[in-house]
Amino acid sequence: MRTDDTGWSVGLDIGGTKTLAVLLDPTGAPGAQVRLPTERGADAVVDTAATAAADLLARADLGADQLTGIGIGLPGIVDPGTGRVEHAVNLGIAAGVPLADLVSRALDGRLNGRRGSGPVPVRLENDLNAAALGAAHLRGDDDGDLAFLALGTGLAAGLVLDGRLHRGAGGAAGEIGHLIYLPGGRPCPCGQHGCLEQYASGSALRAAWPGPGDRPAPVALFEAAAAGDPAALGVQQDFAEAVATAVRVLLLTTDVAHVVIGGGVSELGAPLLQVVRARLDHAAGTSRFLASMRMAERVDLAPRGVPVGAVGAALVGRKEP
């Protein structure tokens, strides 16, 4: 996606617990950010989105007429063409909601009377797709190839190929969490058994390392492994192998230049990257073909301290419909 002939834009990443908003300047650099709790239901989601956007405009002293657009990344079934969303279970939105129009109108209402007001175009995108665009942009590679692998409650990837989102014919491109990893293995809510998501996700770690204490399961596991706990090392190794498999699937299918790991589990940081790279190197040691693909070098973590999904949503907001 080209980002050179555009003005300011706002990006919103609406997740189940928090809404992150960021202002992108005309050069594509992220600026002011807003973080608000997400409340469930379409009315509350619209209200929060309009509040966040109005706040960013006020902080930068911008009028609505200086905005190219607003982009929103959110989980659920999103129709970027119509700006409708449905089945966003985490947000309490079941039936189809024309979210883009509603946010545009709500923001217009708030800005009424301020200089340069008027309806701002709002565009929607699936949150993983938005994150993939944001990750490519933040690497300075808007025209490149990249997969954003989200290790959160579930496991799925967003794909940017030649600088464009690859959504697939039915919007399911990158749903690699439901590849069978272990035939006859753990049951998956999708109806199958042994899906990769059951071994390579935050919920998989919680199931495998329930452990005592109030630390998040990934943190508790990696701490125990670092302390040499043999059981923890085993669980960590199994987890790393499953994540490495996800990376291999993405690289072998799409040959993207980079696989960027994001999602809640990626907050583990360097120790996560290290164990995943170690499993990829191990596989490379068994296969000249895999070795030639230099997979370990092509995996990286999403940048910290920058809301990748919101930045990507802001890029969506700039795109001509």
Residue with tokens 């419909």: 321
Q: Are 178 and 196 in contact (CB under 8 A)?
A: yes
CB of 187 to Zn ion, least distance (A): 9
Binding residue (CB under 5 A) for Zn ion from 45, 195, 225, 260: 195
Phi and psi, residue 74, nearest 5°? -150, 155
Stretch touching Zn ion by CB under 5 A, among 21-29, 88-96, 138-146, 173-181: 173-181
Window 80 to 139, contacts with Zn ion (CB under 5 A): none
Stretch touching Zn ion by CB under 5 A, among 6-14, 22-30, 193-201, 238-246: 193-201
Binding residue (CB under 5 A) for Zn ion from 77, 89, 182, 190: 190
CB nearer Zn ion, residue 116 or residue 187? 187
Does position 155 interact with Zn ion (CB under 5 A)? The reply is no
Q: Are 209 and 237 in contact (CB under 8 A)?
A: no
Phi and psi, residue 159, nearest 5°? -120, 130
Alpha-carbon distance 2 to 68, whole Å? 14
Does position 45 interact with Zn ion (CB under 5 A)? The reply is no
CB of 204 to Zn ion, least distance (A): 11
Sign of CA dihedral 27, 34, 15, 124: negative
The one-character DSSP state at 301 is E
Amino acid at 76: G
Binding residue (CB under 5 A) for Zn ion from 100, 188, 259, 315: 188
Find the helix or strand (DSSP H, E) in which 314 lies. helix 308-318
Total Cβ atoms within 10 A of residue 299: 21
Q: Are 71 and 21 in contact (CB under 8 A)?
A: no
Stretch touching Zn ion by CB under 5 A, among 9-17, 84-92, 188-196, 269-277: 188-196
CB of 198 to Zn ion, least distance (A): 7
Task: Please give the size of the binding site for Zn ion, defined by CB under 5 A.
Answer: 5
50 beta partners = none
CB nearer Zn ion, residue 51 or residue 192? 192
CB nearer Zn ion, residue 110 or residue 178? 178
Alpha helices for 196-269 (secondary structure H): 202-208, 217-226, 230-254
CB nearer Zn ion, residue 186 or residue 248? 186
Does position 259 interact with Zn ion (CB under 5 A)? The reply is no
Stretch touching Zn ion by CB under 5 A, among 112-120, 186-194, 265-273, 308-316: 186-194
Does position 178 interact with Zn ion (CB under 5 A)? The reply is yes
Of 187, 231, 230, 194, the closest CA to residue 209 belongs to 231
Name the site residues for Zn ion (rule: CB under 5 A): 178, 188, 190, 192, 195
